[in-house]
Structure 1
Amino acid sequence: MTELRPGDASLLRKVNTQVTLRALRREGVATLTQLGRVTGLSRQTVEAVLDELSERGFVKEVPPDEGVMGRPARRFGFRADAGYVVGVDVGGDGIVAALADLSGEVIAWQRAGVSGDAAAHERLEAARRTALTCVDSAGVARKHVWAVAAGTSGIVDRTGRVSLSITLPGWTGVDLAGLAGRWFGGTALAANDANLAALAEHWRGSAQHASDVVYVLIGHRAGAGILIGGRLHPGRSGAAGEIGTLRQVGWEDAARELVKDASAAEVFEAALRGERDAVCRVDRYAENLAIGASALVLAIDPDLLVLGGGYSRAGDVLLEPLRRHLAELCVSAPEVVASTFGDEGVALGAVRLALDHVEREILGL
């Protein structure tokens, strides 16, 4: 018989707690018997774990169903309202914030405009106010926010600092994670917006079925995020996917040409009506997008390419020529789909990033 070494009992308790908590989150509400069957643990072990989790505020006992005959079985549920996370998209012309419980259910959204040429401190203040208002409007105490994550354009390093921003004034060098940590007095993270939007698509959007994904964000700016094996691939410095910064790709020039004398919405609407000039203009834009996207596709060979950001709302008017040009440029072009989330994708991806931190560092999952 193998003897337990010092620390083994503690490790076993931790494993049992993780297994039980995962099962309870997955089941929603369950009895001791059900949890024992799902986890493979004894009833006594499950009961002891649930008692400990109840003391920590992560689990609650749920009243029995009405009309149950005899002595009802004890039922338990995960307390998704034990804590909350906030995801914030700090964009070029607007801020989007989302408040979610520990199950990932978004319970409040908040939006605010911000000038494209706003100074860094003005943009940060707008983000702070939007995040706080989002929490306050839901009636959640600020102290119950366990983590906040922010997404923004530019290259964001592993510490959450913006190491390079071409589009936002004074944004290079901003310690976005550090500053966001002051909003609620707790943990904060920051990442590139396209990466977070890719994370959202894989979590609950168009890329749930895919493992390797290229996400292209198009709108006032263009960028890309990469998932490999279902995980974000930011690269050594956070610059993975920033192919739009390569002048030869022509993404910035193509975006300017698209809207040289009309808004993007007007151009796409005209193309939808079949107006020749608009159709040609959209086709040239799609070709430029395809040149940059094909470089990523050829390097990664993804299962899926997701087109997101404001311009993705054009739908097949843009998707069809993009698919055609990708097929011409790629050895094996992936499926191309539009984003599920529109302007909410970055904030939702930030929610997922904050939840990942909470699950790993606080819930021990």
Structure 2
Amino acid sequence: MANLRGGDLSRLRQLNSLTAIRALRGAGPLTLSALAERTGLSRPSMKEVADELMELGWVEEVPPSPGTMGRPARRYRFRADSGCLVGIDIGGHNVRAALSDLDGEILAETRQPVLPGAPLEERLAAIDRAVSGCLALSGRSAADLWTVAVGTTGVLTPEGRVTFSAAIPAWTGLDLAGKLREMFSCQVLIENDSRLAALAEARRGAAQGARNVVFLHVGRRMGTGLIIDGKVHRGFGAAAGEIVMLPEARWYDAPEHLNGCEVVPEGTAPEDAAGYTLAAARDGDPVALAAVDRYVDDLAVGTAAMVLVLDPQMVVLGGGFSRSADVLLAPLRERLERACMRMPEVRASTLGDECVVMGAIDYAADHLSRELFTSDAPLAPMR
């Protein structure tokens, strides 16, 4: 707790209130005694804090369970259902959205298909439909939204402008943050999709507990997200991890080894071609296995470079191709063992296609914590 001088009672109350909210967020209802134990406050002091937080609207007392005998202990909970967060994953072929409470507990999810070459207004309309679908499924309205966090493919500036996007040509040069703030009246946050995917794996997925992680976002397009010392690493100009832009890494065209394999039947949709090759490799087809080897050769170049620079605890294989981790992980490990001084643990994503939208929710929840629940400003009444 911060050093306090005599007379700093209002500051002390502020810190005690924030400590109580942190203890309640993400936890089930807690009794006054349990809350006092978690915060290190005396029970009388905790009662004063709880009463103040209830008056401000952040906390409420939970009614006793039906059938409870005797005088039940008072229980309190953070009012996470008083507002909503939305996470959006804007990809080349789909727009996914998820809606959560203020603690990041998912309440609804939707998906809207969209073509890579779709006009800008059509993609924006798909975003609107995806969010509206979540609101309808959860019985909420746009007035309940506190924060919308968006993950998208492409190179972004810190201000939310897309400087380059190969997957969504209409994105390049677009002030995406500005467009989305015209659509939503709440706070809008923009981040690269691979970074949000890395955040989700660190919080909810394969990399839980790891402090230094290289996340490989592999699919029709290649990307990376970096977790350094437990935090998403953006870099000075929000361009960290864009190794796909280095021609020598051979990442930009690497998926073509799978998309253009001879085993893919003529007329197969482009989005299904790589999956067909990976399935054939799983069945032992020698032509498909050779294509997978060429793909992993290229994937390992950039991955080894990042491992040698960052010395991560873990490498996580995620994105669309992670569904074929049984085909890709063993050859990737073998190549990394050849190139790396210290071999990190290599795992497959446990979140799959949900990684970006889950990361967007976590990003929004983190922003809420920084904005409202820090010691820099007095705790205001819940809006």
Q: TM-score range by the shorter chain?
A: over 0.9
Structure 1 vs Structure 2 CA RMSD: 1.7
Alpha-carbon contact 1:108-1:134 (below 8 Å) kept: yes
Instruction: Tell me the alpha carbon deviations over residues 205-241 of structure 1, each in whole angstroms, 9 at most, x when there is no partner.
Output: 0000211000011111000010001100010111111
The one-letter code matched in structure 2 to 1:309 is G
Alpha-carbon contact 1:104-1:352 (below 8 Å) kept: yes
Measure how far apart 1:66 and its partner are: 4.5
Q: Secondary structure at the match of 1:123?
A: helix
**1:82-161, aligned counterparts within 5 Å?**
82-161=82-161
Range moving further from structure 2, 60-69 or 216-225: 60-69
Measured at CA, do residues 224 and 184 of structure 1 come closer, stay the same or move farther in structure 2, by a change above 3 Å? same
Corresponding residue for residue 228 of structure 2: 228
**1:3-18, aligned counterparts within 5 Å?**
4=6, 8-18=8-18
Measured at CA, do residues 343 and 231 of structure 1 come closer, stay the same or move farther in structure 2, by a change above 3 Å? same
Measure how far apart 1:67 and its partner are: 4.9
**1:58-77, aligned counterparts within 5 Å?**
58-77=58-77
Q: Distance in 1 between matches of 2:46 and 2:161?
A: 43
Measure how far apart 1:184 and its partner are: 3.2
Corresponding residue for residue 192 of structure 1: 192
**1:1-80, aligned counterparts within 5 Å?**
4=6, 8-80=8-80
Q: Distance in 2 between matches of 1:176 and 1:354?
A: 17
Instruction: Please say if 1:343 is aligned against 2:345.
Output: no
Q: Secondary structure at the match of 1:315?
A: helix
Q: Distance in 1 between matches of 2:21 and 2:168?
A: 42
Alpha-carbon contact 1:164-1:173 (below 8 Å) kept: yes
The one-letter code matched in structure 2 to 1:360 is R
Range moving further from structure 2, 241-250 or 18-27: 18-27
The one-letter code matched in structure 1 to 2:79 is R
Corresponding residue for residue 166 of structure 1: 166
Corresponding residue for residue 309 of structure 2: 299
Corresponding residue for residue 250 of structure 1: 250
Q: Secondary structure at the match of 2:139?
A: coil
Unaligned runs of 5+ in 1: none
2:297 is aligned, of 287, 304, 311, to 287
Instruction: Tell me the alpha carbon deviations over residues 175-194 of structure 1, each in whole angstroms, 9 at most, x when there is no partner.
Output: 22333233331111010010
Identity of aligned residues (%): 46
Q: Distance in 1 between matches of 2:89 and 2:253?
A: 25
Range moving further from structure 2, 114-123 or 82-91: 114-123
Measure how far apart 1:310 and its partner are: 0.7
2:344 is aligned, of 334, 342, 351, to 334
Q: Distance in 1 between matches of 2:71 and 2:217?
A: 56
Q: Secondary structure at the match of 1:15?
A: helix
The one-letter code matched in structure 2 to 1:37 is E
Q: TM-score, normalised by structure 1?
A: 0.94
Q: Distance in 2 between matches of 1:325 and 1:296?
A: 14
Range moving further from structure 2, 288-297 or 30-39: 30-39
Q: Distance in 2 between matches of 1:199 and 1:22?
A: 20
Measure how far apart 1:48 and its partner are: 2.3
Q: Secondary structure at the match of 1:86?
A: strand
Structure 1 segments, 4+ long, off by >6 Å, are: none
Measure how far apart 1:104 and its partner are: 1.4
Instruction: Tell me the alpha carbon deviations over residues 71-124 of structure 1, each in whole angstroms, 9 at most, x when there is no partner.
Output: 322111122201110000010111000001122111100101111111233222
Alpha-carbon contact 1:154-1:162 (below 8 Å) kept: yes
Q: Distance in 1 between matches of 2:181 and 2:367?
A: 14
1:323 is aligned, of 333, 337, 342, to 333
Alpha-carbon contact 2:257-2:292 (below 8 Å) kept: no
Range moving further from structure 2, 317-326 or 113-122: 113-122
Q: Distance in 2 between matches of 1:47 and 1:273?
A: 64
Q: TM-score, normalised by structure 2?
A: 0.90
Q: Distance in 2 between matches of 1:94 and 1:26?
A: 30
Measure how far apart 1:311 and its partner are: 0.8
Measure how far apart 1:128 and its partner are: 2.2
Q: Distance in 2 between matches of 1:161 and 1:33?
A: 49
Alpha-carbon contact 1:120-1:169 (below 8 Å) kept: no
Measure how far apart 1:162 and its partner are: 1.7
Q: Secondary structure at the match of 1:253?
A: coil
Q: Distance in 1 between matches of 2:5 and 2:211?
A: 42
Measure how far apart 1:32 and its partner are: 1.5
The one-letter code matched in structure 2 to 1:268 is L
Q: Secondary structure at the match of 1:215?
A: strand
Alpha-carbon contact 1:178-1:188 (below 8 Å) kept: no
The one-letter code matched in structure 2 to 1:238 is A
Measured at CA, do residues 64 and 220 of structure 1 come closer, stay the same or move farther in structure 2, by a change above 3 Å? same
The one-letter code matched in structure 1 to 2:37 is R
Corresponding residue for residue 240 of structure 2: 240
Instruction: Tell me the alpha carbon deviations over residues 325-363 of structure 1, each in whole angstroms, 9 at most, x when there is no partner.
Output: 111111112111111111111011000111111122134
Alpha-carbon contact 1:149-1:177 (below 8 Å) kept: no
Q: Distance in 1 between matches of 2:239 and 2:151?
A: 14
Instruction: Tell me the alpha carbon deviations over residues 6-54 of structure 1, each in whole angstroms, 9 at most, x when there is no partner.
Output: xx33321211111111112254211212211221212232222222222
